[in-house]
């Protein structure tokens, strides 16, 4: 039986460190507050602002991860 020699290959680069959950939540909080201010500080839409901010931050992170 003939032995074949294997050539070592470089290991793939480690993925960049991910942000902690608290850092992501802080980004969402800041964006939700921006939305509140952009709307003229009208109360009563805090959940809507939070969900929109969460969506925007998630989309931004997905784009960054894909790049």
Q: Structural domain tally of the chain?
A: 1
Q: Which of 16, 18, 37, 28 is nearest to 57 (CA)?
A: 28
Within-domain flag for 46: yes
Q: What pLDDT does residue 36 have?
A: 97
Boundaries of domain holding 43: 21-66
pTM of the predicted model as reported, rounded to 2 decimal places: 0.69
Question: What three-state secondary structure class fits 20?
Answer: coil
Q: How many percent of the chain have pLDDT more than 70?
A: 73
Q: What pLDDT does residue 65 have?
A: 85
Rounded to the nearest 10°, the torsion over CA 51, 56, 60, 61 is 0
**Residue 27 pLDDT greater than 80, yes or no:** yes
Within-domain flag for 31: yes
Within-domain flag for 13: no
């Amino acid at each position: 039986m003939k032995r074949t020699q294997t050539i070592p290959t470089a290991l793939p680069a480690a993925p960049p460190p991910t942000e902690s959950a608290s850092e992501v939540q802080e980004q969402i909080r800041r964006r939700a507050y921006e939305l509140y201010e952009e709307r003229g500080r009208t109360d009563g839409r805090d959940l809507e602002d939070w969900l929109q901010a969460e969506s925007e931050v998630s989309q931004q992170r997905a784009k960054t991860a894909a790049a």
